[in-house]
Amino acid sequence: MKMFVYGLREYDERVYFDKFAALYGIEFDSVSSKPTLKNVDLAKGYDAINILTAPVDKAMIDAYYDLGVRCIMTRTIGYDHIDYNYAREKGMGVLNITYSPATVADYTVMMILLGIRKLKYIRQRAALQDYTLEGKLACELGSLTVGIVGTGRIGACVARELTGFGCRMLAYDPFPHSELSEILTYTDMDTLLRESDVITLHAPATESNFHILDADAFARMKPGSGLVNCARGPLVDSDAMIDAIESGQLGFACLDTIEDEYGIYYYNRMGRPLTNRQLAILNSYPNVIVTPHMAFYTREAVSDMVENSILGILQYFREQ
């Protein structure tokens, strides 16, 4: 079995690729750059490619297919950067991975706390040696209602972690999990928007979930409530979110992912104008925290991502 790895990070992934490729008897080569039409030829003679979040469109899928590649593995949970339907029509496997939900759940709880305690504003003022209290009054998480949109592995883990804070929890999911009913209340989306002090998103970026938070949704939210998105950027209409922040309808936002982040996140853009205007605007607000899609980023998760990507490819070809 031969696998070509794109976007391999020497500083953290290399040790795991070397370890697990040897353990499971898979041959691989790699490059640090993302897959593009200009470098598809690197995968000639390989059975599968292993990528991160770089877009793979129809033209690239055709090119890989002609080279003999029959499987596209993304070592991420999300796979919306790949033209999944077209790849399947071509007879190519499209696979994603899993890792411990605790890594994103921990980060989500941290973001909720950073938002409600106004930490960005506190740090900005402290950097100017303003140590006064005015404008920094916060509240306790246990006094709030948290709305969880999506109760899959990560959303469920968030709910379990939040039980320790004593907050009321509402949840919306088309497929509710009965075992969570002891710690949260499932409800409709309208009720969740209306009653939640903080909303945290844990839904996949499907066509039906595109802009699940749009201008209408923000208008229905409790005035001054907060938003945490450690899931997928397309779930939120960025322009509508900016309007809601500027009007005060949205009290804060803590965002680990935004729309149109490809080509920005995971690259060093220091000293260069951002090509995503919404990101530039959001970064300027004292009540908005933006991090570069790294809620997953722990030693445990990186190891899982590499190992499970290899295991997934091996399992796919065993089943063919």
pLDDT digits (tens, 9 = 90+) for 297-308: 999 999 999 999
Q: How far apart are CA 30 and CA 312, in angstroms?
A: 18
- Residue 320 has a pLDDT of 85
* Residue 127: how many other CB atoms lie within 10 Å: 8
**CATH topology identical between 2-99+299-318 and 102-290:** yes
Spot the catalytic one: 293, 299, 300, 319: 293
Among 230, 178, 175, which Cα is nearest to 201's? 230
Spot the catalytic one: 13, 259, 261, 307: 261
Say whether 232 is catalytic. Answer: yes
Say whether 202 is catalytic. Answer: no
* pLDDT over threshold 90, residue 129: yes
- Residue 176 has a pLDDT of 96
- Residue 93 has a pLDDT of 97
- Residue 135 has a pLDDT of 95
* pLDDT over threshold 90, residue 226: yes
For the segment 20-72, what is each residue's pLDDT rounded down to a tens digit?
Answer: 999 999 999 999 999 999 999 999 999 999 999 889 999 999 999 999 999 99
Q: How confident is the model at residue 172 (pLDDT cuts 50, 70, 90)?
A: very high
72-77 contact pairs (CB < 8 A, 24+):
72/48, 73/3, 73/48, 73/49, 73/97, 73/309, 73/312, 73/313, 74/50, 74/309, 75/50, 75/51, 75/305, 75/306, 75/308, 75/309, 76/52, 76/296, 76/305, 77/296
Structure tokens belonging to residue 127: 């950097």
* pLDDT over threshold 90, residue 80: no
Identify the helix (H) or strand (E) that includes residue 186: strand 185-186
* pLDDT over threshold 90, residue 12: yes
- Residue 171 has a pLDDT of 98
As a whole number, the mean pLDDT across the chain is: 97
* pLDDT over threshold 90, residue 240: yes
Q: How confident is the model at residue 263 (pLDDT cuts 50, 70, 90)?
A: confident
Domain extents for the chain?
A: 2-99+299-318, 102-290
Say whether 182 is catalytic. Answer: no
* pLDDT over threshold 90, residue 9: yes
- Residue 53 has a pLDDT of 87
What residues are paired with 135 via a beta bridge?
A: none
Q: How far is CA 77 from CA 14, 104, 274, in A?
A: 20, 11, 26
- Residue 292 has a pLDDT of 97
Q: Is 189 in contact with 199 (CB distance < 8 Å)?
A: no
* pLDDT over threshold 90, residue 284: yes
Q: Is 148 in contact with 158 (CB distance < 8 Å)?
A: yes
Architecture of domain 2-99+299-318 in CATH? 3-Layer(aba) Sandwich (3.40)
- Residue 262 has a pLDDT of 86
What's the mean pLDDT in 183-210? 97
- Residue 78 has a pLDDT of 86
User: SS3 for 46?
Assistant: coil
Q: Is 237 in contact with 266 (CB distance < 8 Å)?
A: no
Q: How far apart are CA 190 and CA 194, in angstroms?
A: 6
* pLDDT over threshold 90, residue 92: yes
> Which CATH number is associated with domain 102-290?
3.40.50.720
Spot the catalytic one: 13, 75, 232, 259: 232
